[in-house]
A and B are shown apart, each in its own frame.
Chain A
Amino acid sequence: GAVVSQHPSWVICKSGTSVKIECRSLDFQATTMFWYRQFPKQSLMLMATSNEGSKATYEQGVEKDKFLINHASLTLSTLTVTSAHPEDSSFYICSAREYQPEGWGQSTEAFFGQGTRLTVV
């Protein structure tokens, strides 16, 4: 299947600093990428939907000024956690849906990155 790569796999940062997480589709073009957050022993919670060339759509309750999402190309989306605090510590996972001009019927799978463990100290 298609490969989605997230970088870094883990990061430790000081409170008040910003952290950027990259999500790349390695062998396909992704018009849409999704960013999820997962707390320990809990499910994935969708944070935002990122479309190439346009502003991200954030889920209710997600601070868009804190979690900056940029989808500059068909293979790269970035999530920047600004002014990180310990409560932002979490596992962040991206997924990407392959661009299919024929529509959803031919592309029903979203491929997931391996996740990024963020620890803010």
Chain B
Amino acid sequence: AQSVTQLDSQVPVFEEAPVELRCNYSSSVSVYLFWYVQYPNQGLQLLLKYLSGSTLVKGINGFEAEFNKSQTSFHLRKPSVHISDTAEYFCAVSDLGGSTLGRLYFGRGTQLTVWP
């Protein structure tokens, strides 16, 4: 079974500062990794995903994440945040295939709050 741990439930940061949202996972098999953003009372929007290849993945809105297999981590980073980045961020893992194809296991989420 897979599990995801987001180490910080809340991350406050000032505008234009860098930010890192941490995510660790555990799995007995290879997985795909995802970061999603959720604005209040809305569904989830995909920020980026790691499937294979380069361990540094670039996504939308200036976000990037680095897959570290040895540390089983997939931390999300942005060099300079904007107030509009204030939202809940979810890290998720997915099985590679089989009958559970597409099932996502989510972390508890990290609330990013950007202050002016």
Q: Do A and B bind each other?
A: yes
Binding site for B on A (CB under 8 A): 1, 4, 6, 32, 34, 41-46, 49, 57, 91, 93, 95, 97, 103-104, 108-110, 112-115, 117
Q: Which residue of B lies closest to A108 (CB)?
A: B51
Inter-subunit contact A108/B109 (CB<8 Å): no
Interface membership of B44, Cβ < 8 A: yes
- Can you identify 19 A-B contacts, CB atoms within 8 angstroms? A32-B101, A32-B102, A34-B102, A34-B104, A41-B109, A43-B106, A43-B109, A46-B104, A46-B105, A49-B103, A95-B104, A97-B101, A103-B97, A104-B97, A104-B102, A110-B102, A113-B43, A114-B43, A117-B41
With A34-B104, A103-B97, A117-B41 as known contacts, state yes or no: A44 contacts B90, CB within 8 Å. Answer: yes
Which chain A residue has the least Cβ–Cβ distance from B95? A104
Q: How far is the CA of A93 from the CA of B90 in the complex (A)?
A: 14
Q: Is B63 an interface residue (CB 8 A)?
A: no
Please report B residues at the A interface, Cβ cutoff 8 Å: 32, 36, 41-46, 49, 51, 90, 94, 96-97, 99-109
Q: When chains A and B are docked, how far (Å) is the Cα of A108 from the Cα of B91?
A: 15
Q: How far is the CA of A40 from the CA of B93 in the complex (A)?
A: 21
B31 CB to nearest A CB, Å: 11
From A42, A91, A110, give the contact of B104 (CB < 8 A).
A110
Known contacts A43-B90, A108-B49, A108-B51: A115-B41 contact under CB 8 Å: yes
Q: Contact between A6 and B43 (Cβ–Cβ < 8 Å)?
A: yes
Task: Determine the main DSSP class of A at the interface with B.
Answer: strand
B43:A46 contact, CB within 8 angstroms: no
B108 & A104 in contact (Cβ 8 Å cutoff) = no
Q: Are A42 and B108 in contact (CB under 8 A)?
A: yes
Say whether, besides A43-B90, A108-B49, A109-B49, A34 and B103 are in contact (CB < 8 Å). Answer: yes
Q: How far is the CA of A34 from the CA of B100 in the complex (A)?
A: 11
Partner of B43, one of A32, A43, A93, A97: A93
